[in-house]
Structure 1
């Protein structure tokens, strides 16, 4: 359980930054080189690489360097783990909201 929690902490911490969320969003379309990832951002390549490194450390992204070209891709396992955590909590809240709605309806009928 501790490893699962640590992995989630790293993933959510990495996704807390809007630039990193944008990078993950772009990688959802498929693998991209670091140069291609950098195109829409107004930052120096070393700054973008720092974001990529955080994403790699979180397990959300992996990269491979062939020659001078580094290509990044999504690691779906890490995204599935965060999705599972979110789905679990969404389901719990939906259940609570459904019970509250039913209670309000009962109160309206009794009034």
Structure 2
């Protein structure tokens, strides 16, 4: 079985972020961590998968910088790292602006075709 944690060092940061968020399990983990930090066992509890498989999802999230972890005693705790989410949000905002401008231009063109004498 291939690893869920493929190296992302050759990808631009935005690619790793979207790759990580493409998986519904990882999106749910990010949503959960949005509320508060949590231990691995707390994060894994709602998912019906083996712990090693779940930990691979955490490695992907940590590898692209979406989450950070720390260990206190025997407990590893994860927390959300919002900076990469801001990078993704900025990219999406740029795309939205581009397409809104294109659609406005298209609308203006269509309206010019409707003018009498055209």
TM-score (norm: length of structure 2): 0.82
Q: 2:62 aligns with which of 40, 49, 56?
A: 56
Shift of 1:93: 0.6
In structure 2, what is the Cα distance between the partners aligned to 1:102 and 1:41?
50
Q: How many residues align?
A: 108
Shift of 1:101: 1.8
In structure 2, what is the Cα distance between the partners aligned to 1:80 and 1:6?
15
Whether 1:23 aligns to 2:16 is no
In structure 2, what is the Cα distance between the partners aligned to 1:81 and 1:30?
21
Q: 2:48 aligns with which of 36, 42, 45?
A: 42
Instruction: Report the counterpart of residue 82 of structure 1 in structure 2.
Output: 88
Single out whichever of 33-42 and 96-105 deviates more from structure 2.
Answer: 96-105
Instruction: Report the counterpart of residue 113 of structure 2 in structure 1.
Output: 107
Whether 1:96 aligns to 2:96 is no
Shift of 1:109: 3.7
TM-score (norm: length of structure 1): 0.86
In structure 1, what is the Cα distance between the partners aligned to 2:39 and 2:75?
7
Unaligned stretches of 5+ in structure 2? Answer: 1-8
Unaligned stretches of 5+ in structure 1? Answer: none
CA-based RMSD: 1.8
